[in-house]
């Protein structure tokens, strides 16, 4: 009976380590690149000791790398659009008048299509970050329950 207790402790440790690997990606809100640094440290320390931790570490890192790719694509869409529209409308006059603020010489009508595409990219980025937060929490709950989890729309960079 005593020999089975360390096995249960080991399983519990694996579940906690896997859950913490997912949760460590949220460190990005405090430490730049923490969403890559901490999961890599945890995963590389435990990947040879546990298949369960190895699976969850790969999932967490692949998800973060996929989000990075999606963010870069959205930025490559939004930034040039906003810069182009801004530069096309120079000089822009901003007038401060007694607590009022006016912008003149900016052509919204001629650029509404481009601005809509840029705004859509920015909204998709915000939605991506919102969904990321909840998927990370969900994945950590699955890991702590001892279940394997795969993030949706994740490119398997690390196999």
What would the pLDDT profile of 79-117 be if each residue is shown by its tens digit?
Answer: 998 888 877 776 666 667 777 776 666 666 777 888 889
pLDDT in the model for residue 76: 95
Q: Summarize pLDDT for 13-40 with one digit per residue, the tens.
A: 999 999 999 999 999 999 999 999 999 9
The per-residue pLDDT of the chain, averaged, comes to: 87
Q: Which residues of 14-32 are buried (b: 16+ CB within 10 A; e: fewer)?
A: bbebbbbbbbbbbbbeeee
- Would the pTM of this model clear 0.85, i.e. be above it? no
> If you ran DSSP here, which 8-state letter would residue 48 be given?
T
pLDDT higher than threshold 80 for residue 146 = yes
Sign (positive or negative) of CA dihedral 22, 28, 33, 34: negative
Is 159's pLDDT higher than 60? yes
């Amino acid at each position: 009976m005593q020999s089975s207790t360390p096995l249960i402790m080991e399983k519990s440790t694996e579940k906690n380590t896997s859950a913490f690997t997912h949760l460590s990606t949220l460190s990005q809100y405090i430490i730049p690149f923490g969403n890559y640094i901490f999961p890599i440290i945890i995963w590389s320390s435990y990947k040879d000791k546990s298949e369960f931790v190895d699976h969850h570490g790969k999932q967490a890192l692949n998800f973060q790398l996929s989000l990075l790719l999606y963010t870069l694509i959205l930025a490559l869409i939004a930034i040039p659009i906003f810069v182009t529209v801004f530069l096309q409308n120079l000089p822009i006059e901003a007038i401060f008048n007694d607590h009022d603020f006016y912008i003149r010489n900016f052509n919204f009508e001629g650029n509404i299509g481009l601005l809509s595409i840029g705004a859509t990219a920015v909204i998709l980025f915000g939605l991506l970050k919102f969904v990321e937060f909840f998927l990370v929490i969900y994945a950590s709950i699955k890991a702590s329950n001892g279940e394997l989890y795969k993030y949706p729309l994740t490119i398997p960079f690390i196999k």
